[in-house]
Amino acid sequence: MKLQFIAGLLPVVLVAAACNSSSTKSTVDSVKTDSVAKTDTSTKKTAFYVIKNKNNVKAVFTNYGGRIVSLFVPDKKGNTIDVVTGFKTVDEYRKSTEPYFGATIGRYGNRIAKGKFTLDGKPVTLTINNGPNTLHGGKAGFQNVVFDAKQLDDHTIQFSYLAKDMEGGFPGNLNVKVTYSINDQDELHMDYEATTDKTTVCNLTNHAFFNLNGEGSGTILNHLVQIMAEKYTPVDSTLIPTGKLEPVAGTPFDFTKPTTIGARINTVNEQLKNGKGYDHNFVLSGTQAGKFSHAATVVGDKSGIVMDVFTQEPGLQFYSGNFMLSKNTFKGGKKDDFRTAFAMETQHFPDSPNEPSFPTTTLKPGETYKTSSYYKFSVVK
């Protein structure tokens, strides 16, 4: 059996791989992105990599967490702006109070209730890092991993990592490959692949934080959002799904027609209270294994930049930046203020290992976990 899941591919030009352990203050130029930050993490070296297509859509990555650091796309006036939040140095990522900016997420994206589930009749206990639950792989999540980086061609970079048996409590040696690329249709692709030597669970994604008006440009509440989902998975007070699939119709979660993020975010609603805003999984309509579904469209109100999300995944986590607390400083010098960035994470459902009715995330020896997603950029006509 081949599991189908999603992530993004970028055409990448590897700019530099050499590192200097003393150069922790080196920076990525936040405007030109022509320079490369170099530092050292334990026994593995880290670097920043710059890629671009013929339209000068440009992305910056680091192998620390397999992160998207910057993504430069043209706005409606033809100006190129950075729509992904991030930092200038790996040190800043290490010290950030928000550990997931731009990171490749694994081995299980989103939450697992109380860090426990049963697999093949055996109990599995994970590390806890989000209240009573495990979030994004727990304390051993991929956001802190230094991936091996390999340039496949001028447009593609591949990050790989071996998550060892029982790392974070997860069984099995999990071999992970994530390939990012940008094509000349201005699409940022993410391709995920993984194999295991023991039965395990796997749910990979990317946690880029976007502001389509530009990093540090202020609130995202006036961004226009459409999500192709007629149902979502409501959550309890710890953000664990209840197991039900509820209709979005008649609720603040109905984004079947374009609606601003802020239009109903302050509505008196138990689910919005639980998430402190939007931090919920949407059940995508019409997703089929091996084929892409159009999951969402987001439009920057000032820039006119349009981001369409396509995926092979059954779910999409929409997060409205509710836990951003102005404690970190981005590349351009602005703080990570409340709701100044959002995330659209393609995924299998949260807590699937404890919910048999949800699409399975179980991966067995001899199977290949394989999924793809992409973000397509354009401007309003």
Q: From CA 347, how far away is CA 246, in angstroms rounded?
A: 18
Active site residues: 207, 345
Per-residue tokens: 286: 């019409």
Q: How far apart are CA 305 and CA 303, in angstroms?
A: 5
At 270, give phi and psi (nearest 5°). -60, -40
